[in-house]
Amino acid sequence: MELLLDKNIAQSYKNPAQKARVLTENWVGNFVFCPNCGYAKMEKYPNNKAVRDFYCPCCHEDYELKSKRKAMGTKIVDGDYEKMIKRITGNGGPNFFLLNYDFKNFAVTNFLVIPKHFFVPRIIEKRKPLALTAQRANWVGCNIIIKDIPKSGRIFFVCEGKPRPKSEVLADWKKTLFLREEREMSSKGWLLDVMRCVDRIGKKSFALGDIYVCENELKKLHPGNKHIKDKIRQQLQILRDKNYLDFVSRGIYRVYE
């Protein structure tokens, strides 16, 4: 995969933001394959297409591109808060491409996709309304809290300047497609929270005791549930049935590669 941005196509642009948009969109259109089906090339939507930048002409998955010059950090600025929540709860939003670039060397340093089935309202942070003096007074935007998305929901094409094999990207995408079957947001939220707890353990094999450490955190996130440990075991069972985890022996689980 070519990582250099074609700086020649943006020579007529003076505004740095416009130049970055042209360069990054051109790179995605030329070099990024569809992580859902593997089709070789993305197609770009017209510029007036709301919240969608690219689509796959083969499987028709939609993608929104967010680019950032600095490291991604813990959150990404997005658009209208209420519209974002409606898209998530209606399961109609696009997947997100996140691109980190080095503008000095005109090169892509990180590029990943967050599948839309990892989006739940809890990872969307409401920003403060714009001031009354602003052109869009009282408009409320949002941030996507990336750090609250499980690692399996951050699928890298390029990581620290190194492209990953296409086969690995496709396998990572396929691994979590079972989440699309879960339409109920609170149920999906439980699965994602337990997946994050598994990430935090940091081991390929773990015991129930390792994940029970998250009990208090999960209690705060789900105050209506009085049987947190039972719920954790239930979610582990679901993840095992979906081939996300492997049951090794009584109380011992292993994360599938």
For residue 172, give the CATH number of its domain.
3.40.210.30
User: Strands 43-44 and 62-68, how do they pair?
Assistant: unpaired
Q: How many domains does the chain have?
A: 2
Secondary structure letter of residue 172 according to DSSP: H
Mean predicted lDDT score pLDDT of the chain: 91
User: For 88-104, how does the pLDDT look when each residue is reduced to its tens digit (9 = 90+)?
Assistant: 888 678 899 999 998 88
Residues 194 and 75 in one domain: no
Residues 164 and 230 in one domain: no
Read off the amino acid at residue 47: N
C-alpha distances out from residue 63 to 29, 34, 243, Å: 11, 9, 26
Domain of 215, CATH number, reads 1.10.10.10
Per-residue confidence band for 10, with pLDDT thresholds at 50, 70 and 90: confident
Residues 192 and 77 in one domain: no
Looking at 177, 212, 234, which one is the last position of a domain? Answer: 177
1 lies in a domain? no
Residues 216 and 242 in one domain: yes
- How many C-alpha atoms does 31 have within 13 Å on its Cβ side? 19
Looking at 177, 203, 224, which one is the last position of a domain? Answer: 177
What's phi and psi for 71, nearest 5 deg?
Answer: -60, 150
* Residue 20 pLDDT > 90: no
71 or 128: whose pLDDT is higher?
128
Q: The pTM is what? A: 0.91
* Residue 48 pLDDT > 70: no
* Residue 42 pLDDT > 70: yes
224 lies in a domain? yes
Residues 153 and 193 in one domain: no
- How many C-alpha atoms does 87 have within 13 Å on its Cβ side? 22
| Distance of alpha carbon 40 from alpha carbon 235, whole angstroms | 36
User: For 207-246, how does the pLDDT look when each residue is reduced to its tens digit (9 = 90+)?
Assistant: 999 999 999 999 999 999 999 999 999 999 999 999 999 9
User: For 124-136, how does the pLDDT look when each residue is reduced to its tens digit (9 = 90+)?
Assistant: 999 999 998 888 8
Look up tokens 């602003």; give the residue.
Answer: 134
* Residue 12 pLDDT > 70: yes
Domain housing 65: 7-177
Looking at 127, 144, 177, which one is the last position of a domain? Answer: 177
